[in-house]
Structure formats: structure tokens, C-alpha cells
Amino acid sequence: MQPLEAGEPHTIGAYRLLGRLGAGGMGRVYLGRSTGGRTVAVKVVHPHFALDEQFRARFRREVDAARRLGARWTAPVLDADPEAAVPWVATGYVAGPPLSDAVTRYGPLPEYAVRTLGAGLGEALDAVHAHGLIHRDVKPSNVLLALDGPRLIDFGIARALGATVSLTSTGVSVGSPGYMAPEQIRGLDISGAADVFSLGAVLAYAATGTAPFPGDSSAVLLYKVVHEEPELGDLEGELRELVAGCLAKDPADRPAPAELARTLAPSGAAALVAPGWLPGPLVREVSRSAVALLDLEPQEAPVQSGPVPFSNASLGSAVPGTFAGTWKGSATERSGAPHGTVTAVFVEGKKGEEVVRLSYRFDALGTTVVCKGVGTLVSGTATELKIRERADPDARTGAMCTGGDADLDFTLTSEDTLRYESHEEAAGTPKGTLTRSDG
């Protein structure tokens, strides 16, 4: 968890905020506490989505559906305000690390834990699909490992089955390379079977420590999912057969979530959780985190004195001249894979104006791919800019470019060095260091 930054809220609805849990393409997630002492996760959508009536309609619909869900292995929706100036939703906080962090730190899970994980998530998806929803982004970072069982989180980009195009065409890139189903990548109509494919990839990752479709760029990952067979390492026996079945290219060949759950846990996932399901190191980490949570106190909002800084409230402020010019450097995705060369050309401009043009050059499948974007100034300080990027409408981009909007952070670490970080999940959340260039 990170402390709240200048300009971030200290209360949302009835909740006092304790810190920031993370950020993504849809918005930011905060840790909060109700007046009654309950700890919650509060997701706040990015302000530009609040101006999109199509997005508001979808958000309102998804919140209503999530309130009715109530599945055991999901985080319950406790409160929401779809009509707020900036819509938000509060869910029960799950005291446990994401599967992605757990595997990175401690290695693959033992078979018993993987079976429990699969049974719990299978039951969760069965409930989700029964309510006419598709999650659409089942991945390791959206699976939390708690002492009382796994939890599937983040229904902010779920959509109702059979939803009209007008309720889903917001320009948001939905899904994560390496975990999206082939039909999802190809832009075909999807069903709950797409979630089952993603679940199979998650279980393969949990059991082996590596994704079943490895690659050094998003483009390679997408190609492998559509055209190649999964790599399942030393996975054996019934578990290997189940995972392989989930990863079938044809949606009709994949098992239903309830069928998968019954095979893994004939007496139900709760029966596997009851005697303890996580390995010792993870049990100790979760226990320490739960204790530390009790000591957290809400941060007090800072008292502003002196000149108003360059921030979200500074509507007339401009990009500092220290950013102007061309910056270039290599970037690396969260997985450690290279993300090619990033070039950013900044010009001075005000909040809401286009102030940077970006290009991304990388090699994929024996060819050089160039993706281009345009960035609008959202907020910043003298040393940090927050940018909202969209695909460059004046440039031709190929199918290997993600095409979705993304939040970018640029931080000056010296006169000639600029730290770049993207929060775009579809691109692998790349980051890197750029230096001044003559072009």
C-alpha cells in the first residue's frame, strides 16, 4: 500500500481513506474504513470516464448486478455511488496478497493449494455466470489469497451477457495478454467459456510459476494464445488434464465452471479450505498483514499554505519547460519482458491539452512494430506529470498495438533523466528510464 499523494481525496462517501492500494486502466483503488470500523477497498474511476454517459450506464448496470451477486469466493459490493461526480464502488477488503505477488515471492503453489484455488474460483465463476455476467479479466493479479479461501475481485470491467454495443464500446481495453481467450483476442462474441480459459491460465501459472503462453511482448503473447498450444511444464495427472481442458481453443470444448469445481473438490471448495490451504510462508505473511492493518490510521489532509502547486486544481497551469523536448529509452514490462524503445516528445501546454506524442518500437514475430499515441495533460507538479494517452488518430497502428486509453506517469529524476511508467494492463504495465535526445 502507498500513502496518499497531494491532491488525492482523504474521504470518499462515508469512508476515511488509509492509503492507495493500486491503479489501473479504469481508475484507482484505495483502502478505506467505515465509521463502524469495517475495512473496505474503494475503487474510483478515472475522471474522464465520468464524462462518458455510455460508461456511466454500464457502470450503473454492473454495480446493480454485483450487488446481487453475493458469491462466496468474491469480494462483496458493500456500497457505491454511480451518480457521483466521479463514480465509485466499495467492496469488502480481502486480507491477502494477489496470486501474482505470492508466486513471484514464494514460487509455485503446492498441488493441494492449486486444487483449492481452482475449486473456489470455479464456484465463483459459476455464480457470476448465473447472474448473466462475464468477468472478462480473470488473471493472477485479480485473485487474492486469504486464509479463509481465494477471492476473485475486480468486476469493474465485467459486462452483462448480451449487452448492447452502446453499453460496451467505451474504448477501454479489456483483458490481459496471455490470459485472454482466443475468441476474446479475435474480437468475436464471448461467453462464460472465455472466463474458463482465463482460469485455466491462472491455474497453470499458480502450479508452475510461469504463464502457459510465455512471451517477451504483448504481441507475442496474443499470437501464442490464438495459434499455439500452452506450455504446462511439469504439471501432471488429473490437474494437467483439467488445465489443458480449460485452455482448449474451441470454447465448446472447455468444461463449465461448476463441473471444474466439482472435479477438484467433490465436497465443495470450503471443505478444502477448512483444514488450512496456504503454505506456511504465505500464512505468516497474511497474518502479519492482518495485524498491521489494525494499526493503520487515516491520513490527515494537509493544510495548504503558500502558492497553490501545479495540480488537478490548477486548471490554467502549463507543462514546465523542463519537460519540453524529445526523450528516448527502453522499457520493461511487469513480467520482466522487454517492451522495446519508447520515445516521448513533449511540448508546453495547459491541462486538458495534448502535450506529448509517444511512439513504441519493438520486434515481434520477425517484424518491427511501431505503435503511436497522443497524451493529454491531467495533472502534475514541477517534477511529475500525469498523462492520459490514447491512440494517435493521425497514425496507422497495427493489430499488435493495444489501442486502449492508458494512464502514464513521467517523473524528472535529473535534468536529463525522465522516469516513465504506464498503468496499461493490456501492455504489461511497462516502465523505464528515458534520457534527453536530439530526436
Q: Which three cell numbers stand for residue 34?
A: 467505515
Please report the pLDDT score of residue 163 as a whole number.
Answer: 38
137 as an active site residue: the answer is yes
Looking at the structure, give the CATH architecture of the domain made up of residues 321-437. Answer: Beta Barrel (2.40)
Output the CA–CA distances (angstroms, integers) from residue 247 to 123, 215, 251, 312, in the order listed.
Answer: 18, 17, 9, 44
Catalytic pick among 137, 195, 392, 405? 137
Q: Which residues contact residue 106 at a Cβ distance below 8 angstroms, ignoring those fewer than 6 apart?
A: 279, 281, 282
Question: With contact defined as beta carbons under 8 Å apart, do 81 and 11 qualify?
Answer: no
With a cut of 70, list the residues of the chain below it in pLDDT. 24-26, 155-175, 294-316, 318, 363-367, 394-400, 402-404, 438-439
Taking each helix axis from N to C end, the angle separating 99-106 and 280-294, rounded to the nearest 10 degrees, works out to 120
- In tens, the pLDDT along 83-119 reads 888 888 898 888 889 999 999 999 999 999 999 999 9
* Residue in the block written with cell 499470437: 223
Q: Which sequence spans correspond to the domains of the chain?
A: 11-293, 321-437
Domains 11-293 and 321-437 share a fold: no
Rounded Cα distance between 279 and 276, Å, is 8
Q: In terms of DSSP bridges, do strands 15-23 and 27-33 run parallel, antiparallel, or are they unpaired?
A: antiparallel
Rounded Cα distance between 94 and 97, Å, is 9
Go through 174-200 and write b for each residue having 16 or more CB atoms within 10 A of its CB, e for each that does not: bbbbbbbbbbbbeeeebebbbbbbbbb
Topology adopted by domain 11-293: Transferase(Phosphotransferase); domain 1 (1.10.510)
- In tens, the pLDDT along 22-72 reads 776 667 889 999 888 888 999 888 777 777 787 788 788 878 877 777 778
